[in-house]
Copies of this chain bind each other. A is one copy, B any other.
């Protein structure tokens, strides 16, 4: 089956390429009858316009890029789902790039994105990223960029985040109410803006607590499974170990469960656990896991909608928007509250 293009349609119809092109785009310049003939043949021969030719001519690619640290992750895969829904509605295509939490990868990807392959970028920083020069450079080429969750604060770049300070405060308060005296805040990396906010919420909640817990324990475990297990094992093996864990990422909670199994520590008896998490099985774990859950699907949708707003009124140098969505705290068995919530 040969590839069919405008030229072939034109020849077959005894029309010029220009006329066929206009007919297919439903131009008012073309009379109805001609449009019909053209469309009929295009349908019959299953004509699909070459997107790259149009892209070049129109200088827009109908494509956006999503740059995320990883994909095999409940949070990011659901965000992506939300993004895809909006992009599809707009007739846009979605290219995905994974940085695998590596700054070097992130730089290479962002640099490539200056090529004009996409009309806009949706992005969540990798944990190593502390410097935003590569992103500022991309932005300065006129590329619309919207950050979500792990954001960079760059002028004119809209962001979608969740109420990280409040969630951090709330989760800590929850542990305090559950009578924890020593609460460890676990995070993967200390550099992200999110982490700063969550940890600040945690610290403020401790400060305001009448109970005055003994210590402010913040442990940065790194990003690798090995280092995470090790850090948590070390933490929980001490004789003055914490009696509460506030995990800022799902994998830290999972690792905590495993370590508790190994060390024969009982959750919630010996240790109460609450975690930022989008696990769909949180309520089925043993014990069910108390979570702070971010609205991942909405984050994806909102971020994508902000991006399209930015793409569509590119010239308009309007204020950038910063959307903050609410996470929800769901108390379950790991903090001693095993009422069956639906």
Contact = CB atoms under 8 A, between A and B. Distances in A.
Given A48-B116, A52-B116, A257-B284, A71 B81 contact: yes
A94 B112 CA distance: 14
Interface stretch (A53-61, A209-217, A234-242, A311-319): A53-61
A77 B114 CA distance: 27
A46 interface: yes
A5 to B, nearest CB: 9
A88 B49 CA distance: 27
A272 to B, nearest CB: 16
Contacts of A96: 80, 84, 94, 96
- A interface bracket (residues with beta carbon within 8 Å of B): 35 or more
Smallest CB-CB A-B distances: 10 pairs: A286-B286, A48-B115, A77-B77, A52-B52, A72-B81, A48-B114, A1-B140, A72-B78, A52-B55, A51-B117
A227 B194 CA distance: 38
A95 B285 CA distance: 35
A55 to B, nearest CB: 5
A111 interface: yes
A280 interface: yes
B141 A3 contact: yes
A265 interface: no
Contacts of A258: 284
Interface in A4-47: 46
A261 interface: yes
B284 A48 contact: no
A201 B340 CA distance: 37
Given A56-B53, A71-B80, A116-B48, A284 B93 contact: no
Given A71-B77, A73-B77, 16 more contacts: A1-B137, A1-B140, A49-B115, A50-B56, A52-B116, A56-B56, A63-B95, A70-B81, A71-B80, A71-B81, A93-B117, A254-B280, A254-B281, A284-B286, A285-B285, A286-B288
| Oligomeric state, in copies | 2
A268 interface: no
A84 B55 contact: no
A275 to B, nearest CB: 12
A279 interface: yes
Interface string A285-308: 111100000000100000000000
Contacts of A142: 1
Contacts of A71: 77, 80-81, 84
Most buried by B among A49, A71, A140: A71
Contacts of A219: none
A77 B141 CA distance: 32
A116 B77 contact: no
B1 A141 contact: yes
